[in-house]
Amino acid sequence: MTQDWSSLPLRRWKGASVSSAGRDHLYRGLPCQDASGVSLDGGLAIVVVSDGAGSAKHSEHGAAAAVEATTKVLRDSAPWTDPVGIRERILVFL
């Protein structure tokens, strides 16, 4: 059964996301290595989070790229009737 999400009143929704460095990262002088994002458009509410690999240098860039790519693929793939195909498109995009 396919859900018709177009009837949701998203025009009243507002979204925000934030990621902040934890205590250990602050102590060691490391940046926040996580990322998050919200997209509210086209009748879709998309929220994506990515936990950066703390052991990898510059993992904050990878986390941000993962959020951006995943949000784009989800937005472009709606309606989401093929989860396996969507997963494959996200992995190829990254």
Rg (CA), the chain: 16
The residue ranges of every structural domain in the chain are 19-93
Convert the pLDDT of each residue in 43-56 to its tens digit.
778 999 999 887 78
Convert the pLDDT of each residue in 1-43 to its tens digit.
566 655 556 567 788 898 888 898 889 888 889 999 999 876 7
More confident residue, 6 or 82: 82
What's the token pair of residue 27? 């102590």
**Cα–Cα distance measured from residue 41 to residue 34, given in angstroms and rounded to the nearest whole number:** 24
pTM (predicted TM-score): 0.74
Q: Does the pLDDT at position 78 exceed 70?
A: yes
The answer to whether the beta carbons of residues 8 and 42 sit under 8 Å apart is: no
Contacts by residues 39-43 (CB-CB < 8 Å, ≥ 24 positions apart)? 39/15, 39/71, 39/74, 39/75, 40/10, 40/13, 40/14, 40/15, 41/10, 41/75, 42/75, 42/78, 43/5, 43/6, 43/8, 43/10
